[in-house]
Amino acid sequence: MSERWKPSTTVAAIIEQDGKFLLVEEHTPEGLRLNNPAGHLDEGESLVYGCAREALEETMYLFDPTDLVGVYMARFQRAAPNVQQAEDITYLRFAFAGTLGRLQAGRNLDTGIVRTLWLAPDEMRASAARHRSPLVLQCMEDYLRGQRFPLTLIHTDASICALSSGAKAP
């Protein structure tokens, strides 16, 4: 019997302020790329907590997710060195809008993050070739269309946090 296929679950913060969106520039195997503050969901944490954590780690700003912008899937294939078969990854992304909090001075940006930057929608569209994923632009476009869903749409059972060493909810 083959192993069950599982997508990589990620959370992303769609942060808009004064008509511009907060992005990160990060090192990837494909070179420097632009991305929403985003990352993998860790074991034992809720989607909302994971999004707030990733935003803080990648931008040094507190972030309070208030709405789900959307749920997205994308497939990515990367040539693997010394291997005939490419690395094939499917990402399942939960993107959140919310309130940007204070900069947490004294923190360092997460490993691989070069800098944060604010881009207007047209600047984001013009830089699409540098995006880490097509989902960066799709999330922004959905946000601009006013697409929002209440966080009550998401339920995280207490068993998720209860089995981990640290409670990470809601």
CATH code, domain carrying 127: 3.90.79.10
Burial class of residue 135, CB neighbours in 10 A (0-12, 13-18, 19+): buried
Bridge pairing between strands 8-14 and 87-103: parallel
pLDDT for residue 83: 65
Any domain includes 169 = no
Q: How far apart are CA 112 and CA 31, in angstroms?
A: 11
Any domain includes 1 = no
Any domain includes 167 = no
pLDDT for residue 98: 98
Q: Domain range holding 17?
A: 8-160
Our count of domains for the chain comes to 1
pLDDT for residue 169: 57
> What is the pLDDT tens value at each position of the chain, 170 positions in all?
578 889 999 999 999 999 999 999 999 988 999 999 999 999 999 999 999 999 999 999 999 999 999 999 999 877 766 666 777 889 999 999 999 999 999 999 999 999 999 999 999 999 999 999 999 999 999 999 999 999 999 999 999 876 555 555 55
pLDDT for residue 170: 55
pLDDT for residue 89: 85
pLDDT for residue 108: 95
For residue 31, is it left (φ>0), alpha (ψ between -120 and 50) or beta? left
Any domain includes 71 = yes
| Helices and strands of the chain, counted as H and E runs | 4, 9
Q: What is the largest CA-CA distance in the chain?
A: 53
pLDDT for residue 86: 73
pLDDT for residue 119: 98
